[in-house]
């Protein structure tokens, strides 16, 4: 109670001070408040008091800096599909240069030994799992813009989907590649190819087991565009 009375008699003037000063006087005001509290309590206040005020000021400044200009419009830094007000937007690629774009993605479907043996022997009730999943992946890549709302409709020049049986962990390893000569990348097309192929493997094998896992879907490599070439570190 004594502490509350001391603070209530000491801080009001400082509180009024904060409301009437500009940001350029904030450091001076904090220093004066620290001295005032030290005279009351005999020791300086915790560093968190001044730090919290400084952090609030920094947060305000950073929120203003976290926008960038893109084609004459503001967007959140690094998030080109989000506008200045946080709304979803489709990126305008009309000003981008045409270049050769290639992307490679990979993923894995863990079957378990029982299902793996059936797939290896081509004894699944729905037919040849690997061949059907490969075709499904190719079709999936061509439908990417219909599945992912803000993807552009790209004229693909090449799609490749390969599936390989791995007896070490009883899995199907999937690699998808997409290519285009255009103004935007084909990473989503490669990832969609791998994902749809994996889902097709699951669909054709689910009658034999519900423990099948689709996992490790990721982009491995991309070329072309303003950002240049990129490869995942091993």
Q: How many other CB atoms are there within 10 angstroms of residue 222's CB atom?
A: 22
Give how far the C-alpha of residue 35 lies from the chain's centroid of Cα atoms, to the nearest Å. Answer: 46
DSSP 124: -
In this structure, what token pair is assigned to residue 104? Answer: 């490679």
In the chain, what are the helix, strand and coil shares in percent, each to the nearest 5? 45, 25, 30
**How far apart (Å, rounded) are the C-alpha atoms in residues 122 and 132?**
12
Q: Do 81 and 91 touch, CB atoms closer than 8 A? A: yes
Place of tokens 């001295």: 35
Catalytic amino acids? 203
**How far apart (Å, rounded) are the C-alpha atoms in residues 47 and 50?**
6
In this structure, what token pair is assigned to residue 172? Answer: 């199907």
Q: Are strands 73-76 and 156-166 parallel, antiparallel or unpaired?
A: unpaired
């Amino acid at each position: 109670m004594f502490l509350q009375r001391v603070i209530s008699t000491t801080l009001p003037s400082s509180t009024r001070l904060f409301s009437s000063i500009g940001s350029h006087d904030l450091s001076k005001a904090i220093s004066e408040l620290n001295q005032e509290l030290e005279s009351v309590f005999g020791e300086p206040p915790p560093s968190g008091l001044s730090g919290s005020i400084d952090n609030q000021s920094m947060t305000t400044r950073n929120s203003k800096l976290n926008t960038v200009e893109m084609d004459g419009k503001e967007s959140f830094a690094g998030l080109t599909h989000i506008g200045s007000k946080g709304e979803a937007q489709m990126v305008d690629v009309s000003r981008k240069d045409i270049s050769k774009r290639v992307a490679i993605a990979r993923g894995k479907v863990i079957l378990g030994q029982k299902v793996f043996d059936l797939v290896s022997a081509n004894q699944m009730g729905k037919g040849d799992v690997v061949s059907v999943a490969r075709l499904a992946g190719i079709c999936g890549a061509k439908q990417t813009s219909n599945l992912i709302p803000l993807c552009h409709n790209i004229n693909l020049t090449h799609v490749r989907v390969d599936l390989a049986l791995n007896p070490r962990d009883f899995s199907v390893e999937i690699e998808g590649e997409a290519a285009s000569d255009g103004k935007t990348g084909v990473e989503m097309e490669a990832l969609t190819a791998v994902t749809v192929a994996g889902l097709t493997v699951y669909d054709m094998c689910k009658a034999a087991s519900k423990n099948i896992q689709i996992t490790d879907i990721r982009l491995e490599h991309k070329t072309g565009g303003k950002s240049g070439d990129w490869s995942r570190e091993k």
